[in-house]
Structure 1
Amino acid sequence: MHILALIIIGAAAGFLATRIMRIETDIVTTIAIGVLGALIGGLVLRFLIAVTGFAAGFVGAVLGAMLLIWLWERYASGRR
């Protein structure tokens, strides 16, 4: 159940983050960005702010996905 919730939250967070950062990606990449962002953002928020719950997890997922997009555009997108 937790993995399914992570995929659903990750997909929503990835979609929102890609729209905020104004990049176009396919569905698989959007979900991957969101899931990885959820892991990064969730861990950062839980350790630094000690906030728990769905809203904090979603905010952390979006922030983590945005960080991942920024890192990707900054360091990896020029290597194609």
Structure 2
Amino acid sequence: MIVLCQVVVQYFTRRAELAGLRSENLLVPQQVTSLQLWEEIVKIHPRLVVIWDQVVFAVQQVYMLLGDQFLVLQPRDKVAIIPPISGG
């Protein structure tokens, strides 16, 4: 049985332009990989698919790239889709 969880997804820069908004509440599986979470978001905002190779998530201020990293989301967690981070 899949347990769903409502999270706050925040979009920044080009991500906000493609999604057409800066923030929204989404119902997503509570236990999910970062890649599966991205796929859930793209189902709602298909235009985001063009930036799939530039996606960095910040979930409760912990950064992660798309992949097999497993997440256990809590209600009202903030999931930010931010521009890639560069170091220097």
TM-score, normalized by length of structure 2? 0.29
TM-score, normalized by length of structure 1? 0.31
Q: Which has the higher contact order (CA 8 A, sep 6+)?
A: 2
The structure carrying a bigger helix percent of its residues is 1
The structure carrying a bigger strand percent of its residues is 2
